[in-house]
Amino acid sequence: MDVTDALQCIPAIDLRDGRCVRLLRGEFASETVYGDPVAQARAYGEAGASMLHVVDLDAARTGVAANRAVVLEMVAAAGIPVQYGGGIREESDAVDALEAGIARVVLGTAAVERPELACALAGRFPGRVVVGLDHRRIVGADGSRPRREVAVRGWVKGGGLELGEALDRFATAPLAAVVVTDITRDGTLGGPDLAGYEELLLSTTLGIVASGGVGGPADLAALAALESGGRRLAGVVVGRAMLDGRMTLGEAVAACAR
């Protein structure tokens, strides 16, 4: 992206059993419940958010869009674009979501297991398809440099691919962005993987959206200032830090200014 552009701050709402929740490091047993997702979506829209990032955690594991009706209520309540992922495995799933009023669909498992599907959808809907690459760092027994292995199916299984290898598959696709989540940092409030994102900016021309570990305005300012090879991050997904009241949306947006 152009170095003069602001870092887009995208509030995240994760759904489980129709409720707004957050997990710690992707563990379903470590769940915090925040209540009504429709009310939360409305609050973010009224506070001036430019977009919401919504994930159906149930669908991510099962492939069944159990919370789709709730998502569409959120779209109506927020009054702003929503990018939605979780359980979108087939072309028909993505098309149904886009035609129902969802601005962008996020393909995670499907993109890793069937990259040709993600590329075809991006060609059919330019700028409306996002690839979500969620990864864990795995240290080899010999102490070699950690592998960033992509995870699939609600982060329950390893995808068998290194993050950079997965990213390369979409180099020429007209994606809206790639959301890259460090699972080991997600929900921890312990800070984002600045070095990892710096490396990614050098390795691709795709727009990279950071996700995982943001704990407050200082983390957002650090992500906004990050520059590598003349490129900067396109956006950042923020979940627990705002839901826990550690910062307001206004404070987050201000911290994202270049």
Whole-number pLDDT of residue 4? 45
For the whole prediction, is pTM greater than 0.95? no
Beta strands, E only, 27-164? 27-35, 52-56, 82-85, 104-107, 129-138, 147-152, 157-162
| Distance separating alpha carbons of residues 142 and 89, to the nearest angstrom | 36
Whole-number pLDDT of residue 1? 44
Q: At the top level of CATH, which class does the domain 8-255 belong to?
A: alpha beta
| Distance separating alpha carbons of residues 258 and 94, to the nearest angstrom | 34
Q: Where are the domains of the chain?
A: 8-255
Whole-number pLDDT of residue 62? 86
Closest C-alpha among 161, 43, 177 to residue 112: 161
Whole-number pLDDT of residue 154? 64
Catalytic residue numbers read 14, 134
Query: Could you tell me the mean pLDDT of each successive run of 10 residues in the chain, 258 residues long?
Result: 72 96 83 95 97 94 90 97 94 96 96 96 98 85 73 72 94 97 92 95 96 97 96 97 96 92
Is beta strand 227-228 parallel, antiparallel or unpaired with respect to 208-211?
unpaired
Tokens representing residue 193 in the block: 């993987």
